[in-house]
Amino acid sequence: MIVPALTGLGSPHWDPHARGLIVGISRGTTAAHIARAALEAIALSVGDVAAAAERDAGAPLPRLRVDGGATANDLLMQIQADVLGRPVDRPAVLETTALGAALLAGTATGFFADAAAVAEARRVASSFEPRVDAAARSRMLDRWHDAVGRSLHWAAE
């Protein structure tokens, strides 16, 4: 398990004194195990933020729409769906910030004929469904929260 708290932890932990950890390694640990743990850390961190958002909103998140370069990784997207216990949708265009600017410009100049043309530009290319059961998800989250807890207040004076 990796906790990527190299400069502290942000939402929802808010601890500037947390520090990064790699825990659970043995003589049998390979670079592949560490790479997988890094992907899991991304998904688990997003899972913590999603859970906080759901608590604040008082409503469940039915699915997650993702974007950005890391979303090109199918394994990361599957782990994310497993962590959340709900579908993860990846768009055809991964860099949606640039796409949004282009859509605004295209709408303002009349390039797009109607809202349907804009919707097509935002279409979902792939969906990832959770593949683990609630018990496995709970074990994964428990291990993650244990590791996060160990990283907290590490550099406090």
CA triple 14-45-8, angle to 5 deg: 35
pLDDT tens track for 27-50 = 999 999 999 999 999 999 999 999
Selected residue with higher pLDDT from 118 and 139: 139
pTM (predicted TM-score): 0.88
Identify the structural domains of the chain with CATH numbers, from first to last.
Answer: 2-151 (3.30.420.40)
Exposure pattern of 109-143 as b/e (b: 16+ CB <10 Å)?
Answer: eeebeeeeeeeebeeeeeebebebeeeebeebbee
pLDDT of 13 reads: 95
Reported as a single tens digit per residue, the pLDDT across 84-115 is 999 999 998 888 788 778 888 888 888 877 77
pLDDT score at 157: 65
